[in-house]
Amino acid sequence: MSKLLDSVKFDADGYLDDPNQWTEELAKEIAAREGITLSDRHWVVINYARNEWKTKGEAPTLRNITKNTDVDTKELYGLFPGGPGKLAAKVAGLHKPTGCI
């Protein structure tokens, strides 16, 4: 495991404990750990998620991302295979999305 990943704390599901510790370098390493190489399109989603967190205090839902960026749901699943909402939040250093009850 890398020194950078070792230097911060994650919760049991692999989400960064303190979103304020997030850096772009850290995002690249978290992504790599999840098997993702970040492209410009990933960054559109990550930057949007970070901004949403800054204003609203939580990770955005899929619907929120696709409504407010030019990334549609199909592309989102391509970028973050499996669970794009959870995976994007993870890479953006945010807590696990709480959207569904």
What are the catalytic residues?
Answer: 100
Q: Name residues contacting other proteins, limited to 59-78 (CB under 8 A).
A: 61-64, 67, 73-74, 76-77
Q: Helix, strand, coil proportions of the chain in percent (round to 5)?
A: 55, 0, 45
Least distance from C-beta 61 to other proteins, angstroms?
7
Do residues 44 and 69 touch, judged by C-beta distance below 8 A? yes
Kindly tell me which of 1 and 100 has the beta carbon lying closer to other proteins.
100
| Torsion-angle region of 39 (φ positive above 0: left; ψ -120 to 50: alpha; else: beta) | beta
Q: Contact residues for other proteins (CB under 8 A)?
A: 61-64, 67, 73-74, 76-77, 81-83, 98-101
